[in-house]
Structures are given as structure tokens and as C-alpha cells.
Amino acid sequence: MSFRTAQVDPLIVRRAHIAVYVRVLTSRPHRRGGNVVSIDSGSGLANATIQQRLVPVRLFYDFLMEEGLRESNPVGRGRYTPGRRVGGRQRGLVPRLTKLPWIPSEEQWLRILEVARREPVRNRVMLALAYDAALRREELRSLRTDDIDPAHRTLRVRAETTKNRLERVVPYSAPTGVLLSGYLAHRAGISRARGPLFLSESRRNHAQPLSLWTWSKVVRRIALAAGVERFSTHTTRHLCLTGLARMGWEVHAIATFAGHRHTDSTLQYIHLSGRDLADKLSRGMEHIHAWRIQTLAAANTTPCGAGS
């Protein structure tokens, strides 16, 4: 639904009209149909997508207000604190939802690895590097031959390929190094030229840099074959960072490894790992356990036969 199809003059649109628009976005059939990958994605747009759709509408009405054509903006903005009236800000039409990243279970991950074992060496090394170094899809696809330091088993993730334009150097494991060495020998049979690390081997784009979409299709094929439909190109990053959190890495170390500018993004992996909560539960249970043992020990000091 748009204001044109609803035959509503933008100059007289109210919050009720915007609410109807939001309602349509949250309830209409999903255009991807059979490609639904989560329970709540069968109809309507995701929360983040709806927020993006509302931004240009909000900016449009900001413009109308600046031009003196309207006195108010019908699209809510800012945060709202329930029960706080004095100094409170206007509540938005759509609440912002913050969900923890999805990661596969151990059994699902093993199924994915079993399928990946049958993939060509290029795909296997890409999957290994994506997991080992917690690389984003663009960072992985943009790796060049001179970004690799085999002597120290590190990768240079160039600033222009990152989400927040922060360059970083990340390590990879010895098994991945063996796999990478095998791929480099294989790549030499495709092209000996320096440049993009991962090359296409199709007839149409032979020896050309691998595209983002090709890699996405590879991962999607692996996910479907393993029966883990939610697995995506970003899942390996989530899995790696969650593993680091579970191993006790400090939040700033994880943020540096992941290339996060702020630790707010990193904290979701700490929460997902349940590390802090597990530690507190363990300490609490140890205290309770000690108290119970002391109580039983005290009970054992009762003279034999007492109470019998």
C-alpha cells in the first residue's frame, strides 16, 4: 500500500495512515515464498527492514516541515520510556527489536561439515577461513593473494572491504593453513597472476574474481543439503565469536578480532554464550552446595541413636 494507491494527500497524512502502512508491511505475504528460513519470516517484512522503509517517509515529512507545508511529522521517532511523561520522547510506531544471532547446534554444525567435505577445495578453504577468522562475506570474497602471511598464519583484512572501514590482522589455524596451501597450488592451475585470492572456475567467468552471489549460492546449497536452512554466509562469523566468548575472551579482545568499532555489537556474543550467567550460576550453586554439606556435617555430630 502507498499513499497514492490509498488516494491520501501527503499533506494531510496522520499517524493513523502511517500505522495502516506499517500494518500492511507486517502482514502481507512474503515475496520470498518458499525461501523462508525462520519461523517468523513467512509473512511480512523483518523488523529491521520495516525500520528502513520508515526512514525515507520520516525524512520526507521532515522536509515538508522545513518548507512550512506541515506543522508535524506523523512518523514517530526516538526512544520512549514507559511511565515517563516529563521530558519523555515520542514513541515510534514500530518497536526496535534486538535479537541474538542464530548459531547452529553441535549436531547441525557436524552435518554442515559433512556436506562441506565433498565441496571443491576452493569452497572448503573459504568456509574454513570464514569460520577461523570470523570474516564477513565481503571481507572473505575480497581477500587478495598479498593479504596472506603464511609464515605467521595471518590475514590482513583491508579497511576498504570492512563494514566500518577498520583494517585488522587476524590469525587462522594450522589445519586451515594446510587447506589454504592446497588451494594455492590448485589456483596456480587457473591463474598465476597476483590479485584476488578466490577465482571463478566456471566457463563464463573463468579466472575472474569470485562474486558475492556465487559464494552465497554455494553456502545456500550446503545449507539445504545439510538440512540446516538457517545456515548463511554470516553464520560462521557468529559461531566463531560465540566460541571465543565461551572460551573466556574479554569483550575488547573479541571486538578487536571481529573488527567492531564499539563493544555494543560484541556484547551480543557474550550474551549468546551465556558465559557470565553460567559463571554466576556456578558460583551460586557452589555456595549453596557448601551450605548443604555443612548442614549435613552438622547433622552427623548428633549422638548415635538420637531420635530413633
Instruction: Let me know whether 63 and 114 are in one domain.
Output: no
The answer to whether residue 251 sits within a structural domain is yes
Q: How confident is the model at residue 39 (pLDDT cuts 50, 70, 90)?
A: very low
pLDDT at position 86: 46
Calculate the average pLDDT of the chain.
Answer: 84
Average pLDDT over every residue of 57-71: 91
Instruction: Let me know whether 239 and 138 are in one domain.
Output: yes
Q: Measured between alpha carbons, how far is 60 from 45 in angstroms, rounded to an integer?
A: 21
- Residue 175's SS3 state is helix
In Å, how far are 76, 247, 270, 276, 279 from 283, measured between CA atoms? 45, 17, 18, 11, 6
Instruction: Let me know whether 211 and 232 are in one domain.
Output: yes
The answer to whether residue 282 sits within a structural domain is no
Instruction: Give 152's contacts (C-beta < 8 A, 6+ positions apart).
Output: 171
Question: For residue 117, what is the domain's CATH number?
Answer: 1.10.443.10
Q: Which residues constitute the domain of residue 38?
A: 1-99
Instruction: Let me know whether 253 and 112 are in one domain.
Output: yes
The answer to whether residue 212 sits within a structural domain is yes
With a cut of 80, say whether residue 6 has pLDDT above it: no
> Which of residues 72, 99, 126 is at a domain's end?
99
Instruction: Let me know whether 266 and 207 are in one domain.
Output: yes
Name which of 80-89, 140-149, 180-189, 234-243 the model is least confident about: 80-89
Q: How confident is the model at residue 3 (pLDDT cuts 50, 70, 90)?
A: low
The answer to whether residue 296 sits within a structural domain is no
Cell of 66: 522545513
Task: Check if the beta carbon of residue 12 is closer than 8 Å to that of residue 74.
Answer: no
Percent of the chain with pLDDT over 70: 81
pLDDT at position 105: 93
Per-residue pLDDT tens for 87-121?
445 556 677 777 788 999 999 999 999 999 999 99
Instruction: Let me know whether 182 and 51 are in one domain.
Output: no
Name which of 90-104, 165-179, 276-290 the model is least confident about: 276-290
Instruction: Let me know whether 77 and 122 are in one domain.
Output: no
Output phi, psi for 263, to 5 deg: -80, -10
Instruction: Let me know whether 179 and 124 are in one domain.
Output: yes
Q: How confident is the model at residue 196 (pLDDT cuts 50, 70, 90)?
A: very high
pLDDT at position 81: 45
The answer to whether residue 281 sits within a structural domain is no
Q: How confident is the model at residue 8 (pLDDT cuts 50, 70, 90)?
A: confident
With a cut of 80, say whether residue 300 has pLDDT above it: no
pLDDT at position 183: 97
pLDDT at position 227: 97
Average pLDDT over every residue of 156-173: 94
Of 308 and 165, which is predicted with more confidence?
165
Domains: count for the chain:
2
With a cut of 70, say whether residue 280 has pLDDT above it: no
> Which of residues 76, 99, 122 is at a domain's end?
99
Runs of H (alpha helix) within 97-170: 106-116, 121-132, 137-141
pLDDT at position 162: 94
The answer to whether residue 200 sits within a structural domain is yes
Q: Measured between alpha carbons, how far is 45 from 52 in angstroms, rounded to an integer?
A: 11
Q: How confident is the model at residue 2 (pLDDT cuts 50, 70, 90)?
A: low
pLDDT at position 35: 45
Instruction: Let me know whether 269 and 133 are in one domain.
Output: yes
Percent of the chain with pLDDT over 90: 53
Of 86 and 247, which is predicted with more confidence?
247
Helices 15-27 and 47-66 sit at what angle, rounded to 10 degrees? 160
Instruction: Let me know whether 32 and 116 are in one domain.
Output: no
pLDDT at position 4: 53
The answer to whether residue 289 sits within a structural domain is no
With a cut of 80, say whether residue 63 has pLDDT above it: yes
Instruction: Let me know whether 177 and 256 are in one domain.
Output: yes
Of 36 and 52, which is predicted with more confidence?
52
The answer to whether residue 287 sits within a structural domain is no
Instruction: Let me know whether 122 and 256 are in one domain.
Output: yes
Average pLDDT over every residue of 38-46: 57
How far is the first Cα of the chain from the last one, in angstroms, to the nearest whole number? 81
